[in-house]
A and B are shown apart, each in its own frame.
Chain A
């Protein structure tokens, strides 16, 4: 796994992509910091980081678009498959290299609050907690985009898929208020449809009818039982579900100065789920 990690890191700096990613990340951080903390005089670095998350919509796809597609294009995936290494170590090695790239950017950004203390900023704790949440958000999105880019061998398609994917997650937050008024029946129907779509996705990845049927049954049956027992529980359920599952919404919690453990656990679970799904895709390709 360390060998894969080292190769990926070397690849980022052999190609222009690693430098472009870091340059754009630091440029965006610098611009937002200059606007909010220097020009507008905000004493809270979290304000800059709040807007920096917008940059991730482009930066994360830029970082991940090559990770899997290039292996297939150059036929180096055959080398990876023939190595005496479990597939999960290969996926994890690649993932950790991308997270390390983001980490390098975050380490440099961590200097910004220190500089700002010279101008009178004193909320270092909030600043670093938010930066940590920003890193976690990025790490979760990297896993999500790594999975999307494993579905294709075309870098451009991977990039588009990832941008659209992150935008959907991001906009889900923006439109979350629409679901506040969603009644019990609408919430129930939408959640059932989403569960079935998830089961369909599992079938697409595994081609295992029994496993995906199990996911569908275990997902749908309890919901039907709950709905039949007390349908009022589904009042506003959609809004709550989207809020709970939202990556960006959770990120803002840190910005308000709360060190939220559930966010850490949620982001880590989100990343683990998509790392696992990337492994599934790679394993399935070998079985195709």
Chain B
């Protein structure tokens, strides 16, 4: 179990993390979700002992990541955002080095390296120099490295960035398999990815933990209403009079119409009720033409955007690193 308490990290005047606390229980796949520069990598670097926090503690199964660093680090396998690979080595040499450095029993090194290579499909490229491997293969070698020493917890920082669709599917499949044996924490700014792979989400934005829970719990945070977009041709007063006869006035938001003689309205409606028929026939009775009538279901993307928008103003780059991809939601 990982227990993060009041984690704060500052770079000069910039607060990369602001008093973050959460618990990770064993046996699940966790997704650390947030826009670029939200503090995901900083959180992971602190959790793995690569970076010291300005304040706060991280405990891995009760071992403090700084005070009992050796014991705590034995429980973690970490793949940073940039796979830490020695390009002048072959995957087999590299993994043997990592296994030895992690203190794997010398008699078991060869067997364990073979196992993780099979697990991550690295075996067929084990004798090629790492510098000649594709990005996807390097990522797999990076994951293999994290698996050595049989750690309970695997932490993967944006493992799918820059991969082609086929490699993406492979890595996602691998993460799912890992989740059966290990506690896995992956970070991503791609919502679809974490929602597909993870059991539970931690949403970080602007250095703050703004939500934690299962997907359904996060969706419930938005309430149970949908939005009905309407564009109706007719005089505004008449159209609204008809509309207010069917739905309550406070649920309607008048938007500026794109053309003269058209009325554009957003209506907030309960998810279980469908008032589209009534609106259509009522408008038709008064000879108002319904040009657009569309229901927008609130989805996880809305949850993500709504949560991150709250802190968007305070988002700044977390570290001087190149995170160039656009927010893909």
* Residues of chain A whose beta carbon lies under 8 Å from any beta carbon of chain B: 2-4, 6-7, 10-11, 14-15, 74-79, 81-86, 286-288
Contacts and interface: CB of A to CB of B under 8 A. Distances in A.
B323 interface: no
Nearest to A78: B80
A76 B70 contact: no
B52 A78 contact: no
A76 B71 CA distance: 21
22 contacts: A3-B100, A6-B97, A6-B100, A10-B89, A15-B88, A75-B83, A76-B86, A77-B84, A78-B50, A78-B82, A79-B80, A79-B98, A81-B51, A82-B48, A83-B101, A84-B69, A84-B70, A84-B71, A84-B74, A84-B102, A84-B149, A288-B11
Contact of A286 (B51, B80, B102): B51
A189 B74 CA distance: 52
B45 interface: yes
Given A3-B100, A3-B101, A84-B103, A11 B88 contact: yes
Nearest to A84: B73
B84 A286 contact: no
Nearest to B45: A78
Contacts of A83: 73, 98, 101-102
Interface in B85-136: 85-89, 93, 97-98, 100-103
B218 interface: no
B49 interface: yes
B171 interface: no
B84 A85 contact: no
Nearest to A7: B97
Interface residues of B, number: 32
Contacts of B69: 84, 86
B100 A2 contact: yes
B78 A82 contact: yes
Given A81-B49, A81-B50, A82-B49, A74 B87 contact: yes
Given A75-B80, A78-B45, A86-B70, A286 B101 contact: no
Contacts of A4: 101
Nearest to B129: A14
Given A83-B73, A286-B50, A286-B51, A78 B84 contact: yes
A76 B80 CA distance: 10
Given A7-B97, A77-B84, 15 more contacts: A2-B100, A7-B101, A11-B86, A11-B88, A74-B87, A75-B82, A78-B82, A78-B84, A79-B98, A81-B49, A81-B50, A82-B76, A83-B98, A84-B74, A85-B101
A287 B9 CA distance: 10
A236 B87 CA distance: 54
Contact of A76 (B48, B85, B93, B149): B85
A154 to B, nearest CB: 15
Nearest to A89: B101
A85 B70 contact: yes
Given A82-B76, A84-B102, A287 B87 contact: no
Interface in B117-163: 145, 149
B88 A82 contact: no
A286 B88 CA distance: 25
Interface of B: 11, 45, 48-52, 69-71, 73-74, 76, 78, 80, 82-89, 93, 97-98, 100-103, 145, 149
B86 A7 contact: yes
Contacts of B93: 10
B88 A75 contact: no
Contacts of A2: 100
B70 A82 contact: no
A42 B258 CA distance: 100
Contacts of A15: 88
B97 A82 contact: no
Contacts of B88: 11, 14-15
A79 B51 CA distance: 12
Contacts of B71: 84
Contacts of B80: 75, 78-79, 82
Contacts of B48: 81-82
Contacts of A76: 84-86
A82 B73 contact: yes
Nearest to B47: A82
Contacts of A77: 84
Contact of B145 (A6, A79, A84, A287): A79
**Closest A-B pairs by Cβ, 8 of them:** A79-B84, A3-B100, A84-B73, A3-B101, A75-B82, A287-B52, A81-B50, A76-B84
Nearest to B99: A3
A10 to B, nearest CB: 7
Given A84-B69, A286-B50, A74 B84 contact: yes
A134 to B, nearest CB: 30
Contacts of B45: 78
Contacts of B98: 79, 83
Contacts of B145: 79
A287 B145 CA distance: 24
A38 to B, nearest CB: 39
Contacts of A75: 80, 82-84
B117 to A, nearest CB: 17
Most buried by A among B48, B70, B85, B101: B101
Most buried by A among B76, B86, B102: B86
Nearest to B149: A84
